[in-house]
Structure 1
């Protein structure tokens, strides 16, 4: 893929301050896109922007937003357009995971997982879709999870939300299939991010396992016996955003070392 394949395109990456979101933003910038990083922590977004080279840093803007709040999402996307014009690419990456046995999953936890992981995708997609339909072009990539393709114990609310993201992806992809817009999901397995580190800390805090034992237990779910790197997910996202991927839509692509077959 040529470095200029996304030249002139404006991409929004939610949850862009670290991990997969930061890696995706770097890949899009390298391909020539202008990028808006969105997230709740503006300073974290700016710190991430400052890690890019000076040339690329000038094509990045940072906007603080809570993707669970409809009015805030509308304002944030309007602001994004002021500097970088219409949005051509949306990467719905903002997410959160919290574990709990099903019997101890209260309404607050259930609603929080749905709000962050599913409703946020809906609200951000709703903010960009009218313009994409008008211009008959667009790429939407939802960062789901292998939890959206299978079931994991102790994360029922998170799994339900990620299954919902895949359902939304498939439905919208069919709805806009003739409009020049593709809608896909990428589904990472356990990935070396802050989210994974928090999960490992929770395992060591609630069991007798060491950090290394916890790592090995999670890595056994990956046939390659390793964690996924954020750049591997970013490469898949970049491929889906390329002009040459116009026929790829409605897919849920597992980036998991063969965990989902």
Structure 2
């Protein structure tokens, strides 16, 4: 029996790439979405449809989902992973960075949800996994705007879970602490980047993207009548 379609946004690096590799190894067909489609294709994963999609463009996202479902069957899981982490002080951060995080982390997440939810409700089956952050549960220096977007992910996920639970659709939040990915490189303030890098070294390193992917797979692979509502994971030596 063939396994169902898994959709992953932001699949070109980091947690998204790790999820793609893991679900592919398990035999799932994949729809991999990112702005850097060459990175997706370079993964060389079998039964993977790779499409250049900005999650903020709902029509393009929906078209890719429709194409993948026509080829592989209905999507049983979406991992809403695409995100931006642009750290800064509100007093001097470029407001364009706030807009980008709100667009990708919040509106893009909603777009991903909307692209699969009607079908899951009609089938009374499916799982939506939203990648949030420990920064969606507590605040940190230089994270104000980013924390705002990740607190929103938690709120959206919990409210949505209540909306769809009686139709047997699961909504799961994965909240990692610091992860070794490209996210930090997007921060424009060199001083903040240097301080963050020094902190990671002080605690002996942070968790790998593959660790988060394993948590995603664990939550998904529970029986459909079991919803692991939230997983919070971080390096043992990460205190905050």
Using the size of structure 1 for normalisation, the TM-score is: 0.84
Contact 2:168 2:224 in 1 (8 A): no
Determine which of 223, 235, 239 is the counterpart of 1:257: 235
Partner of 2:100 in structure 1?
112
Aligned: 1:235 with 2:214: yes
| Distance of 1:41 and 1:246 partners within structure 2 | 36
Separation (CA, whole Å) in 1 of partners of 2:3 and 2:105 = 29
Q: Distance in 2 between matches of 1:198 and 1:68?
A: 18
| Distance of aligned partners of 1:178 and 1:240 in 2 relative to their CA distance in 1, 3 Å threshold | same
Q: Quick check: 1:130 aligned with 2:135?
A: no
Are 1:11 and 2:36 counterparts?
A: no
What are the residue-to-residue correspondences of 1:164-179 with 2, within 5 Å?
164-179=152-167
Q: Secondary structure at the match of 1:104?
A: coil
**Quick check: 238-247 or 117-126, which moved more?**
238-247
SS of alignment partner, residue 71 of structure 1: helix
* Structure 1 unaligned spans of 5+: 51-56
Against the structure 1 CA distance between its residues 227 and 198, is the aligned structure 2 distance closer, same or farther, given a 3 Å change threshold? farther
Q: Structure 1's 245 and 153: CA in aligned 2 closer, same or farther, altered over 3 A? A: farther
1:100 aligns to what SS in structure 2?
Answer: coil
Question: Per-residue displacement from partner, 1:194-240 (whole Å, max 9, x unpaired)?
Answer: 113555xx66x327x9x6x75341455x6xx4301111100100011
- Answer yes or no: is the 8 Å Cα contact 1:149–1:260 preserved in 2: no
| Partners of 1:227 and 1:116 in 2: CA distance | 24
SS of 1:88's partner is strand
Aligned to 1:206: 191
Following superposition, the deviation at residue 76 of structure 1 comes to: 2.0
Matches within 5 A, 1:71-220: 71-198=59-186, 205-206=190-191, 214-218=196-200
- Structure 2: stretches of 5+ with no match in the other structure: none
**3-state SS of 1:177 partner:** helix
Normalised by the length of structure 2, the TM-score is 0.90
Relative to structure 1, the CA distance from residue 140 to residue 130 in structure 2 (aligned partners, 3 Å threshold; closer, same or farther) is same
